[in-house]
Amino acid sequence: MDLSKFSLEELFFTAIKAEIDSREAYSIMAGITSNAFLKDRFKFLADEEDKHRSFLTQQFEVKFPERKLNLPEVSPVPMPEINIGGPNTPISTLLQQAMDAEKAAGAFYRDFAKYAKSDKEFSATLSYFARMEDSHYEVLKREKESAEEFEAYDDFNPGMHLGP
C-alpha cells in the first residue's frame, strides 16, 4: 500500500477511524453471538482496538497539538469494513469480513511504520500494532474454521444444535 500520497494527519485519521469502527463491530458481534467463548474473543478484540485508538489519539495530540481531532466520515485511505448485516448473516461471513479488515490493518500499520521511520519509537509501535493485527487475524481464522464446521452440521442435521 503506497501511503506517500497521504499526509501524516490523514494517516492518523485512517488509523483512528479504523480502530473505532472495528471496536464497534466487535462489540456488536459480541452482543449477537450466543457462543460464550466467541463472545469473549469479540470482547477481547474490541478492547484491543480501543487500546490502539487511545494510543493513536494521544500520539495525534502530541504531533498536532494545535489541531482538534475531527475524523472524516470516510477514511482517507480505503480500508475494508465489517458489515454486520441482518440477524441471519452467518457468523462465518462476519468472521471473514473481520479477517479481511485485520489483514488490511496489519498491512496499513506496516506501511505506516515505514512512513514514520524518522520517529523510531512511534514507528516501532506501529510495527508492533501490525503484528498484533496479524495475531487478531489468526484468532479470527481459527474461529471461522470452527464456525464453518458448526454451520455444516446444520446442513446435514437441521436443528441439531437447537434445544436441550
**Domain-located, residue 2:** no
| Overall average pLDDT of the 51-59 stretch | 97
User: What value, to the nearest 5°, has the Cα angle with vertex 64 and ends 58 and 68?
Assistant: 80
Write out the three cell numbers for 43. 470482547
Query: For the domain that residue 47 is a member of, what is the CATH number?
Result: 1.20.1260.10
Grade residue 161 by pLDDT with cuts at 50, 70 and 90.
very low
Q: Is the pLDDT of residue 61 over 50?
A: yes
**Domain-located, residue 3:** no
d(CA 22, CA 52): 11
Q: What residue has cell string 475524523?
A: 71
Buried b / exposed e across 15-40, counting CB within 10 Å, b at 16+? bbbbbbbbbebbbebbeebeeeebee
Q: Is the pLDDT of residue 20 over 70?
A: yes
pTM (2 d.p.): 0.86
Domain total in the chain = 1
Q: Is the pLDDT of residue 91 over 90?
A: no
pLDDT at position 94: 92
- Positive or negative, the CA dihedral 49, 24, 116, 63 is negative
Nearest Cα to Cα of residue 95 among 139, 36, 37: 139
**Domain-located, residue 163:** no
pLDDT at position 154: 47
**Domain-located, residue 162:** no
Please give the residue range of the domain that contains residue 61. Answer: 8-78+87-155
d(CA 100, CA 116): 24
Work out the angle between the directed axes of helices 91-115 and 120-156 (0-180°, nearest 10): 170
Neighbours of 76 (CB within 10 A): 18
Q: Is the pLDDT of residue 155 over 60?
A: no
pLDDT at position 54: 97
Q: Is the pLDDT of residue 9 over 80?
A: yes
Cβ distance 77 to 14 under 8 Å?
yes
Computed on alpha carbons and rounded to an integer, the radius of gyration of the chain in Å comes to 18
